[in-house]
Amino acid sequence: GAGVSQSPRYKVAKRGQDVALRCDPISGHVSLFWYQQALGQGPEFLTYFQNEAQLDKSGLPSDRFFAERPEGSVSTLKIQRTQQEDSAVYLCASTKGGKETQYFGPGTRLLVL
Amino acid sequence: DQQVKQNSPSLSVQEGRISILNCDYTNSMFDYFLWYKKYPAEGPTFLISISSIKDKNEDGRFTVFLNKSAKHLSLHIVPSQPGDSAVYFCAASGLTDSWGKLQFGAGTQVVVTP
């Protein structure tokens, strides 16, 4: 497919468990964003990559959240020692670069019990 | 602090009529505004955008108006169709934000009735 894909689509984790969420951006897209969307709210920025460089991680809520994009394409968002407040939809978006239109994936819905 | 606000959580409109969605912002450094549409269990889909150098942008049935002095933008959908039923998010990007980090409003649920 030509769009942004994310996996898994749904994840249930026990409190304290580590999780890893994957994003496959559109081929050739330089920029990649992660957002967190809580129930009834709009997406909130977490972090931004330009190729493999993480240029902005100001939105990561705690040091339990870690993101990487080692080869400049696929990205992984890792949450360590998950807490109930981490329950949300995690969205990934990609662009050609700069302030271009962001194309979003379907998201991963994380539920921490 | 919420810098982009959509004060109407929901809107119901009859098919064929106009839908008007509103969005207010507080940061005068925002220079690029977008509207996204979201269906359940899907990611947001880009709808239309406007740069701060313009006050209107039109694309088919969708028109976005920007009033910089009032820090207000609106999305008009004419005519509304049942397939337009979705959550609409207003988003903004800052002048000093060279890579286009977006700030979103909380969304407006639109229901188009036959």
Q: pLDDT (tens digit, 9 = 90+) per residue, A14-70? A: 999 999 999 999 999 999 999 999 999 999 999 999 999 999 999 999 999 999 999
What pLDDT does residue B101 have?
87
Closest chain B CA to residue A10: B41
Domain ranges of chain B: 4-113
Q: Looking at per-residue confidence, does A32 or A98 come out higher?
A: A32
Beta bridge partners of A20: A78
B7 touches chain A (CB under 8 A): no
Is residue B25 over pLDDT 90? yes
CA distance A9 to B89: 21
Domain B4-113 coded CATH 2.60.40.10: yes
CB contact under 8 Å between B4 and A42, yes or no, is: yes
Is residue B11 over pLDDT 90? yes
Looking at A40-54, B51-65, B88-102, which range is the least confident one?
B88-102
Looking at A55-59, B26-30, B93-97, which range is the least confident one?
B93-97
- Size of the A and B interface in Cβ pairs below 8 Å: 64
| Residue indicated by tokens 């400049």 | A72
Residues B67-87: what's their mean pLDDT?
Answer: 97
CA distance B85 to B114: 11
What pLDDT does residue B100 have?
79
- Dihedral sign for Cα A52, A58, A62, A63, please: positive
Is residue B44 over pLDDT 80? yes
What pLDDT does residue A105 have?
97
CA distance A66 to B22: 35
List the one residue out of A65, A106, A6 whose CA is nearest residue B42.
A106
How close A16 comes to chain B (CA, Å)? 26
What pLDDT does residue A27 have?
93
CA distance B66 to B52: 8
> Which residues touch A15 (CB under 8 Å, ≥6 apart)?
A82, A83, A84, A112, A113
What pLDDT does residue A12 have?
98
Domains belonging to chain A, first-starting first, are 5-112 (2.60.40.10)
List the one residue out of B76, B36, B71, B40 whose CA is nearest residue B59.
B76
CB contact under 8 Å between A101 and B41, yes or no, is: no
Q: Looking at per-residue confidence, does B96 or B7 come out higher?
A: B7
Mean pLDDT of chain B: 94
B106 touches chain A (CB under 8 A): yes
Residues B42-62: what's their mean pLDDT?
Answer: 95
